[in-house]
Structure 1
Amino acid sequence: MKTSQWHLKIGQSLTLTIKKMGINGEGIGYWRNHVIFVPQVLPGEIATIEITHIAPNYLRGRLIKLKKTSPHRNLQPSVLAKQVGGLELAHLLYPQQLSYKQAMLHEALRHFRPRGWQKYHIQPTIGMNDPWHYRNKAQFPIRIVNGKLICGLFKPGSHTIVDCLEMPTQGSLTLSILQRLVPLIQSFNLPIYQPESNSGILKTLVVRENPSTNQAQLTFITNSWKLPQKRALIAAIHQKIPEVISIAQNFNPGTTSLIWGTDTKILWGQSHLIETIGKIQFQLSPAAFFQLNLTQTEKLYQVVQQMLNPRPTDTIVDAYAGVGTIGLSLAAQVQTVIGSEISSAAVRDANANAELNHLTNAHYECGRTAQLYPQWLQRGLQPSAVIVDPPRTGLEPEFLQFLNQSHLSKIIYLSCNPSTWARDLRTLSQVYHIQTIQPVDMFPQTPHVESVTLLKRRRSSKQSNRNFE
C-alpha cells in the first residue's frame, strides 16, 4: 500500500474542512499544509474522506460522509453525478454555480497577472432559466456489459460504460431517440465493438437534435464499413423513430481514443440537419462542430454584437470560425466578414451556410489563423475588428504577436478555457486595454465557463487603422 511522506496511506480516512473549490469543481482542503482534492464537496463543509491517490505535491480523496453541510448544497442531485463526467457541479445550487464560474475567471487572472488585472471588470455570469436538458448532441459509446447492451458514458478514468439514457443535461429528444434505438439494435443482434479484442463493428451512437423542428441526425460510428442488415435496420428506424431524418456512418477503426474517424457517408435521408441561431440558418453535416447549447449560444452572440457595435463599413475577421456561426450572425450588419478555420469540412459548411443565407459578403478559408491573417494583411485587408474563438489551447503565439502589431482598434476574445485566456491576455494587455469581461454559462452542472472579453487598443499606442472607433 502506497504511503506518502506525510505518513498517509491509500484507503486511510480523515476529517477535512473544505476551504475552496478548484478549477475542475472539486473541493479543496488541507492536511498539515498539503492540498487534498475531493470531488462532490463544497467550501465550508466538514467531511470524512478516504485517501484515493498520493502524489508528491498533493493528494486526492473521496467523500465518505458529511459532518457539516453547506447551505448551497443541492440535496437531490442526479444519481449519475457520482458516476460520470458532465455533472461535476450538480451538487451545487445553480446560483452558486454562476458565482463559482465568475470566481474561476478572477482566479485565472490572479495567477497569470496580465497588465492591470486587478481593475478588470468581470460581469455576473449569464445563466439559464432552466439549466437542464440543454445539450443538443449525444456521443454515447455502446458496449455489451454482463450480457446487457449498455449505451452511455465512461466512468472517469476508466473504460467502464454507465447507462446514461436518463442523463439530465442531454436534450429530451436525443434521450428519447436513444431509448428507442438501443432495443432496436439489440433486436437485430448487431455485432457490438469489443475493445479488448478490437473486434465487432458498432462503437458509438451519435444523435444531434433540433428540438424546434423535432428532427434529428443519427450517426453510427463503426470499426468497419460493414453494417449487417443495414437496409432492414434503416427501415425499422424510419418506422419506429420518425424524428430521425438522416442516418450516417462514420468509419473509425482501431483502438484510438478519438470518437470520430475521418470518413463519413450518408446511408439514408438528408445530408444535413438545419439549425437556426437568431435569423441565420446553418446546415450541419454529421461531423460538423456546432454549439451544444443553443439557448445560451444566442445570448453569447448577443454579447458579441453588443461589444462589437457593428457598422456598415466594418470589415470583421472571424478567427477559429468553425462553421461560421459568429461571423455569419454579424454579416448582414457589416461590409465584409472573412474567416479562418483549420477544418476543411467546417470551411465547406461555413461557405455553404453563407450561400444558404444569401450572404455574399462572408467568405471562409482553410488554414491556421496564424498563417492566413498576415496573408490577408498583405493583400490589403484592413480589419475593423477581430473576433477570436480559439480551442482550449488558446491563441497561437504567432497570431498573438500579429494582433499586437496590427494596430487593431478592437478585439473580441471568446474563450472556453480560463487558464489559456488569462495567459493570452498577459500578452495582449501590453497593447490593449481589457474593457469588460462577460462570462456565459454554456454548460450548467459542469465547471466549464465561456467568457467574452472586449479589448480596445490603448490610446498611447500608435494607430494605423481607424476604421473602427
Structure 2
Amino acid sequence: MEAIPVKKNQELEMTIVDLSHLGMGVAKIDGYPIFIENALPQEKVQVKIVKVGKKFGFGKMLSIIQTSPYRQTVENKDLIRTGIAPLSHLQYEQQLKFKQNQVENVLAKVAKMPEIHVEETIGSSFSFGYRNKAQIPVRKIDGILQTGFYRKNSHELVPLDHFYIQDPAIDAAIVIIREILQQFEVKAYNEREHSGFLRHIVIRRGSYSHEMMVVLVTRKKHFPQGEKIAQKIQEKLPEVVSVIQNINFKQTNVILGEEERLLLGRSFIYDQLFDKTFRISAKSFYQVNTPQAEVLYQKAFDLASLKQTDTVVDAYSGIGTIGLSLADKVAQVYGMEVTPQAVTDAQKNAKINKIDNAAYVVGKAETVMPKWKEEGIKPNVIFVDPPRKGLDQTFIEAACDMDPEKIVYISCNPATMARDLQIFADKGYYTDNIQPVDLFPQTHHVETVIALKKR
C-alpha cells in the first residue's frame, strides 16, 4: 500500500483544484485528496490536516492566501459550519454552474452516458429567504431554551436566530414561539439522556397565502397548558391558523412521530401553486421553494407535450400538486401515494379546485400500476417525482410495462437518477437532454427533469 503523503495536525499551503459534490474544496497532494470546508477552486489556502483516512483526508482552513474571484461574503460562518447553506460563499451564477457540472459528472461516471446533453441550470428568483418550511431543534443551553442547527457531523447545537435561506417571517416566528415556550417553562429535550419534553419546532408558511402552521414536536403525550400556549402563539402571530402537537417518543433522528393532536385551528394550511389551491397537512410533502416549484413543474409539463386526449399517471403523487396542476390539460389523471394523509389531501384538493378527472389511491406504485394495467388503464405519460433514494427497480419495471409514450422523471438526487437512467435504457426508454433546476440555492442540492421516450 502506498504511504499517505500527509499526517494529522500537519500545516500546509494548498491550492484548491475542485469542489466535491457536497461543496467542499478539494486539494491534492501526490494524488491524495484533502477535503476542506469553505474553500473554493483557484484559492491558495493555509490548511491544518484534521483527519487522515486510507483514500482521502480532511483539512481545516486556517487562512486564505489567494482568494477566488467567485467568493462572496458570508453573513454568518455558521451557515457553512452547520451545513444549512454550504455554498453561501460562492457567487450564485457559479453555484448554478457547479450544479450543472454535478449532473454531468454523474451521467459520465455513474450512468456511463456522457452523450446526454445537460442544459444550464435554471436559477431561482430568490436565492435567499425562499424556504416555506423549517424544522428547528430545541435545546437548553445555559438554562435558556435555544433554537438553532447542529454543527455538521455532530450533536452540538449552534444557536441561530437567522437562517437566511428560510422565509424571514418563519425566522421571526421561531424566536417569538421560543420566548413563549420559555415563559411557560417548557422543558427542552435532552438527546443524550432521552429526557425533557420539546424536541423540535416545525413551521410551514404558505408562500402566497401566508397562512402559518406551527407543529410542536414533543417526547410525551401529556402537554401541560398546550392549548394556552397555542392561543398565546396565535395572539402574537396572527398568521397562525394551525397549531399541532406531534408526539415522537422514540430515540431517533426522525423528526415527526406517528401521532398528532390539534391544539388550535385546523390541521392544515392552504397555499396556491399555479392557479390551484392546495391544502397541506403537517406530514405532507410540498416543495419548499414554491415559486421555483412552479418553474420545475412547468418545465416537466412542457417536456411531456401534453394533449387534451392524454391519460396521465402521477406516481408518488403526494397531495396532488403535479397531477391536479395539469388536470385541465388532459383527459384523466390517476395518482397513488403511500401516505394516507397525503392521499386524503389530494382527494380534497381535487374537490377544492372542482377537478373531476383525477383519482387518487393509497398504495405503492409498483403494486397499484399492475392492477391498473389489468383494468385496462393505459397512460400516455407517467410523471414520477420520487424521494432522494430514487426509484425501486420494481417500479421501473411496472412503469415500463404500462407502455407509456413518455415517462417524465423529476429527481432531487442526480446520483440515483443516473443509476435509474441505466435501468430505463435497458427497458427501451431513453433521453438525450436533462434540465437541472435550482430549488435549493446556497446548498449543493439540485433538481433535474427528464422526458424519457420509448425507442
Residue 82 of structure 2 corresponds to 84
| Cα displacement (A) at 1:130 | 2.8
- CA distance in 2 between counterparts of 1:56 and 1:367 reads 44
Counterpart of 2:318 in 1: which secondary structure? Answer: coil
2:374 to 365, 372, 378: 378
Q: Given the alignment, which residue of 30, 33, 43 partners 1:32?
A: 30
Question: C-alpha separation between the residues in 2 aligned to 1:407 and 1:334?
Answer: 18
Alignment of 1:145-164 (within 5 A): 145-164=141-160
- Secondary structure of 2:367's counterpart equals helix
Give the CA deviation at 1:10.
Answer: 2.2
Alpha carbons 2:122, 2:436 under 8 Å: kept: yes
TM-score between the two structures when normalised by the length of structure 1: 0.93
Aligned-partner SS, 2:117: coil
Amino acid at match of 1:245: V
Q: How does 1:335-354 map to 2 (within 5 A)?
A: 335-354=331-350
Q: Does 1:130 align with 2:126?
A: yes
Cα distance in 1, alignment partners of residues 400 and 225 from structure 2: 58
Instruction: Select which of 198, 201, 223 maps to 2:194.
Output: 198
1:203-232 CA-to-partner distances (Å, cap 9, x unmatched) read 110111124333200011000111122233
- Residue number among 443, 446, 451 corresponding to 2:448 in the alignment: 451
Q: Do residues 107 (structure 1) and 94 (structure 2) align?
A: no
Q: Tell me how far 1:78 sits from its aligned partner.
A: 2.9
Q: How does 1:23-422 map to 2 (within 5 A)?
A: 23-114=21-112, 117-422=113-418
Segment of structure 1 superposing worse, 308-317 or 439-448: 308-317
Over the residues paired in the alignment, what is the CA RMSD in angstroms?
A: 1.5
**Secondary structure of the corresponding residue to residue 287 of structure 1:** coil
For structure 1, the residue ranges without an aligned partner over 5 or more in a row are 459-469
- Identical counterparts, % of pairs: 34
1:76 and 1:258 mapped to 2: Cα distance?
30
Provide structure 2 residue ranges, at least 5 long, that are not aligned to the other structure: none
Distance (whole Å) between structure 1 residues aligned to residue 366 and residue 43 of structure 2: 47
Q: Which amino acid aligns with 2:243?
A: I
Q: 8 Å contact 2:421–2:430 — kept in the other structure? A: no
Deviation at 1:23, TM superposition (A): 0.9
Deviations 1:176-227 (A, max 9, x none): 1112111111111112212222222111101111243332000110001111
Aligned residues: 453
Query: Could you list the per-position Cα deviations for residues 378-417 of structure 1 after superposition, in whole angstroms to 9, with x for gaps in the alignment?
Result: 1111110111111111111112223344432111110011
Aligned to 1:462: none
Looking at structure 1, the residues matched to 181 and 148 of structure 2 have their Cα atoms a distance apart, in angstroms, of 14
Q: Tell me the SS of whatever aligns to 1:227.
A: coil
Counterpart CA distance in 2 for 1:82 and 1:303 is 31
8 Å contact kept, 2:144–2:182:
no
1:109: Cα distance to partner? 0.4
What SS does the corresponding residue of 2:396 show, helix, strand or coil? helix
CA distance in 2, matches of 1:78, 1:438: 32
- Normalised by the size of structure 2, how large is the TM-score? 0.96
